[in-house]
Chains A and B, each alone.
Chain A
Amino acid sequence: MSARLAAPAVPPAEADESRTRFVRKLWLAREFGIVVALGLLVLVTTLDNPAFLSPQSLRDLLLGAAILVVLAVGQTVVIISRNIDLSVGAVLGLVAFATGKLLSTAPGTPAVVAILAGVGLGAVCGVVNGVLVAAARVPALVITLGTLYAFRGIDHSWAQGQQINASDMPRSFLRLGTWTVLGIPVLAVIAVVVMAVVGFYLRSYRSGRELYAIGSEPAAARLSGIPVGRRVLTSFVLCGALAGLAGVLYAARFGTVDATVGTGIELQVVAAAVVGGVAIFGGSGSVYGAALGAVLLTTIGSSLAVLRINPFWQQAVVGGLILAAIGLDRLLAVRAANRLRGRSSHGA
């Protein structure tokens, strides 16, 4: 962020003005509250134990958040269009097992092929979700709750209790989970690239903007000629594909895969998006916010482990911190809205 601040080389007076404008914009940004919450959390943990900011620790934080970020980005695209995809955990599990199976039966498969196969399988699951939601006009909550069990069931019957272990997969693939470039884990780089690309698409492409329109008011969107069904289908395919990518990354990172992988992760994903300021009823929010939400949730988990909070209390503390983060975010949003209202009345 400091890089962006320093970048424009402009005359002093103008620079000053643009800086205040930038600061105001930053202050008003939906994501600002989460950044503050994240900063506070890291600060408190570091004061207690300085090792929390060691290079290895930061790498671990980035690695830990990467998979959740990819999932949260996909989920955001769906939530923005006033839908929800609860099947992401099941898709992740299915793809993780498929990847393990592929690599254990054909160890020569390059990592790129494994990733493409995983993304493809995830997209197929997304097509199933999207077609059912768009064609049957049943709420996505119900449809994806059904496909959650269906995909998990396919996973179970395929796995038959089998487990794929680190020694069954080629080392080159497993290295993907621990590899670092200039000290930054490859997994985190992938997550950031995914976030940036999807963020750019939602912000700058017509079809991306139309997703917001659909989420704000589906009936109005339909009347103004937006192909609602097609856009919703696309959002589910994108979400499925990203869940597939997350599945491949999961296999690479943890090295042990069975049919129960990713059970219950869908709730974390939805929580990440909501904590990150994505409105659950659609129409507003950004993938950057959702990604920050995912980072915040993972950091809460890591910092509780470092602070050595009594394990019996941990879940309650996680819940409390999530509520506190949302509260802080809400407070900042209300203040920003008040200030906007005040300014416009002065201007008139």
Chain B
Amino acid sequence: MSTQPKRTLRLGLIAATMATVLVGAACGGTTRGSEDNANPSGNQATGQANPDAPLVEGLDVAFLPKQVNNPYFTVADGGGKSATEEFKGKYKEVGPSEASASSQVSYINTLSQQQTDVIATSANDPNAICGALNSARQAGAKVVTFDSDTKPECRDVFVNQATAEGIAENQVKLISEQIGGAGKIAILSATPNATNQNAWIELMRAELKKPEHGKIELVTVAYGNDEDQKSFQETQGLLRSYPDLKGIVSPTTVGVAAAARYLSGSEYKGKVALTGLGTPNQMREFVKDGTVKAFALWNPADLGYLAAYAGAALASGQITGAEGEKFKAGKLGEYTIGKDGVVVLGPPTVFDQGNIDQFDF
């Protein structure tokens, strides 16, 4: 009995040593490889754009979402995959299972060592991954952010799903139509500290100040923390606290689905209007049973698709990320890069009873 563990221990030690040696050798290999390539590709970043350059075939394209297993990013990355197949690149998706600030760093370092040509990522934190992204760019990778940006100096291009102004305008328009242009409304947001949510809410307030929305009063903002249970409770709280509430706007997919599910089984169904940003699959049931008339979202698959094409255009030298450069993104057509290297996907799509069955995401 007593020799058995010892032998296992010794075997384990040998295995561990061998593994260390192997890993060391492998690392050495990749590091040397990246040094060889670092200089020429590093120089490319400052080179001139050639709009007529053909898209290079066989590009290594990696998608690094905020979190794997998040349905939204699964769809977005799926769009990236089909784009990559169109321009004959090699697609892969890697990412952390938790959307914490620094969880993406090790993935970026690995991608950088693997000589990936294009890294398309949605940043969990605008600062935390900056260093890793910049060393990846020095190693020759082109970095495209989508959905959530980093600081502009850490990436080549940011593909924005929609402008904050566009979203705010769209949401206010939808709720105004559904409550007949007058009455009290409330917003059900994600977490109190979510940057994009807060930006949209501020712009919605500004939009509501316009004379055509003068009869609409925004009474409060509630936070469902993107949890089902909390969003349920907050929706209930809103309806209790404001008995004459006419409508709720929830610009977050978890919140709008939870609020719809609650309304559909309560006495408020059909009496309190609900709109927001949600996916058609999530909301289909509630549009069909009459709880929700219309809601909106950009198409995440198009977002990933555009990010992949932007990355390919960068890696092929068609664009450098400077303002005013143009590139073609397959079926989506031509896009122009705006200020700070931002490309905007377009206005959000509105889903209602009439068109919801044409979408599957």
Q: Which residues of A contact B (CB under 8 A)?
A: 49, 51-52, 54, 56-57, 60, 64, 156, 159-163, 165-168, 174, 177-178, 253-256, 258-261, 298, 301-302, 304-306, 308, 311-312, 314
Q: A57-B236, A156-B69 are in contact. List 12 more A-B contacts (CB 8 A).
A: A51-B241, A64-B233, A160-B69, A165-B281, A165-B285, A167-B288, A254-B258, A258-B69, A260-B69, A301-B230, A305-B222, A308-B237
Q: Are A161 and B68 in contact (CB under 8 A)?
A: yes
Tell me the minimal C-beta distance from B74 to chain A in angstroms.
Answer: 3
Pairwise interchain contact B229-A301, C-beta atoms closer than 8 A? yes
Question: Residue B285 contacts which of A57, A166, A259 (CB distance < 8 angstroms)?
Answer: A166
What is the distance, in angstroms, from B72's C-beta to the closest C-beta of chain A?
9
A258 and B281 contact, CB distance less than 8 A? no
Complex contact A166–B69 (CB within 8 A): no
CA distance A260 to B71 in the complex (A): 10
CA distance A301 to B232 in the complex (A): 10
Whole-angstrom distance between the Cβ of A191 and the nearest chain B Cβ? 15
- B binding-site residues for A, Cβ under 8 Å: 68-71, 73-74, 97, 192, 220-223, 228-230, 232-234, 236-238, 240-241, 243, 254, 257-258, 261, 264-267, 279, 281-282, 284-286, 288
Given A159-B69, A165-B285, A305 contacting B265 (CB threshold 8 A): no
Nearest A-chain residue to B68, judged by Cβ: A161
**B71 A161 Cβ-Cβ under 8 A:** yes
Contacts between the two chains (Cβ within 8 Å), count: 104
Q: Do A52 and B228 have beta carbons less than 8 Å apart?
A: no
- Known: A163-B71, A165-B284, A167-B285. Contact between A302 and B236, CB under 8 A? yes
A166 to chain B: closest CB distance in Å?
4
Question: In angstroms, how far is the closest chain B Cβ from the Cβ of A249?
Answer: 12
CB-defined contacts of B288 to chain A, threshold 8 Å: 167
Which of A60, A156, A259 gathers most chain B CB within 10 Å?
A60
A308 to chain B: closest residue by CB: B241
Closest A residue to B237 using CB positions: A305
Complex CA gap A301/B229 in Å reads 9
Q: Please, which residue of chain B has its CB at the minimum distance from the CB of A300? A: B233
User: What would be 25 A-B contacts, judged by CB atoms less than 8 Å apart?
Assistant: A49-B241, A51-B241, A56-B266, A60-B236, A156-B97, A160-B74, A161-B74, A162-B71, A165-B257, A165-B285, A166-B257, A166-B285, A167-B281, A167-B285, A177-B265, A178-B264, A178-B265, A255-B261, A255-B285, A256-B261, A258-B69, A261-B228, A304-B237, A305-B222, A311-B192
B69: chain A residues at CB < 8 Å are: 156, 159-161, 258-260
- Choice from A177, A258, A301, A305 contacting B71 with Cβ under 8 Å: A258
B233 touches A302 (CB 8 A): yes
Please report the C-alpha to C-alpha distance between residue A306 and residue B242 in the assembled complex, in whole angstroms.
Answer: 9
B229 with A64: CB separation less than 8 A: yes
Please name all residues of chain A whose beta carbon is closer than 8 Å to the beta carbon of B230 when the two chains form the complex: 301
Residue of B nearest to A54 (CB): B240
Is A308 a contact partner of B220 (Cβ separation < 8 A)?
A: yes
Q: Are A166 and B261 also in contact (CB < 8 A) when A57-B236, A308-B241 are?
A: yes
**Roughly how many angstroms separate A167 CA and B260 CA in the complex, as a whole number?**
12
User: Are B237 and A306 in contact (CB-based, < 8 A)?
Assistant: yes
Cα A258 to Cα B73 in complex, Å, equals: 13
Q: Are A64 and B232 in contact (CB under 8 A)?
A: yes
| Also in contact, A163 and B282, with CB within 8 A (given A56-B267, A156-B69, A311-B223) | yes
For the complex formed, measure the closest distance between the CB of B59 and the CB atoms of chain A, giving whole angstroms.
24
CA distance A165 to B283 in the complex (A): 8
